Amino acid sequence: MLVHPLSDTSITGFSVHPSTVVGIAGLAALYAWRARREGRSPSGVQAGAFAGGLVTMFLSLNGPLHDLSDYYLFSAHMVQHLMLTFVVPLLLVVGTPGWMLRPALRIPAVRASARWLTRPATCFVLFNLAIAGWHLPPLYNLAMANHNVHIVEHLMFMATAVLMWWPLLSPLPELPRLSYPGQMLYCFLMSIPMSVVAIYVAMADHVLYPAYAAAPRIWGISPLDDQMIGGLIMWIPGGLFFYGVMTVIFFKWAARDEDTVAASQVPA
């Protein structure tokens, strides 16, 4: 891991990494091109959500959060990972209309692959394998030592997180969402593997990631305390996030049932 002197961090400035700008600009250009190609415009909510996802991605991968994550604090890195897996993909999926994606399903190989990749079991396994695998010390330390590997790590987080959200937010009936009860069970199960990884990190009695042991100390946080805080960030906000989603799903389910009952009571 490259160590910046404290005075050079973006805590008081704002570093920008060209590779992130190119990637984000490419996503924005692809979104605009698909809209022009179809001769349609996303709704205001969709366009705003997609733009919000791109802005959140930029702020997560540049500036103070990026520099704290890469050079100083494991706990800041866990905040970054939560942003890249929970917030950014959520906004991108909500912001993408189904009609933008549907033409790709006309290609048989794409349609078959998409059906397999968006199965709830597949989404569950791929996302949790990515989260668990990249937080094991060998892969995590490799990513901290090699910037290109670190980029691959973040890309895998975001790609598998899009899949993780698909059974809950799919904009395509051809690749459908789960039923409301299925969505609630899916969210409950999704909270378990991340909690296991977080407990492993938070309860470790030694520093798992040497890059942070060698990093300059800031704010009086020791490497082991920083690691414990990072594990707790992954465990508590990460787990509560899924329970919050479950709550939203429950109320949507209840509202639908109330509408169904009300409609059945309307005189013919």
Q: Is residue 268 part of a domain?
A: no
| Percent of residues, the chain, with pLDDT higher than 70 | 91
What is the rounded average pLDDT of the residues 101-123?
96
According to the model, what pLDDT value does residue 7 have? 41
Q: Is residue 1 part of a domain?
A: no
What pLDDT digit, counting tens, does each position of 68-82 carry? 999 999 999 999 999
According to the model, what pLDDT value does residue 2 have? 46
Q: Is pLDDT of 88 > 90? A: yes
Q: Is residue 35 part of a domain?
A: yes
Per the model's pLDDT, the better-predicted residue between 250 and 214 turns out to be 250
Q: Is residue 267 part of a domain?
A: no
Q: Is pLDDT of 34 > 80? A: yes
According to the model, what pLDDT value does residue 255 have? 87
Distance, CA of 173 to CA of 252 (rounded, Å) = 18
Q: Is residue 136 part of a domain?
A: yes
Kindly give, in sequence order, each residue whose CB lies less than 8 Å from that of residue 27, ignoring residues fewer than 6 positions away.
54, 92
Neighbours of 264 (CB within 10 A): 7
Q: Is residue 90 part of a domain?
A: yes
Neighbours of 47 (CB within 10 A): 16
Q: How many domains are contained in the chain?
A: 1
Q: Is residue 84 part of a domain?
A: yes
Give the model's confidence band at 1: pLDDT under 50 very low, under 70 low, under 90 confident, else very high.
very low
Q: Is residue 209 part of a domain?
A: yes
What pLDDT digit, counting tens, does each position of 190-234 carry? 999 999 999 999 999 999 999 898 888 888 899 999 999 999 999
Domain span at residue 108 reads: 6-262
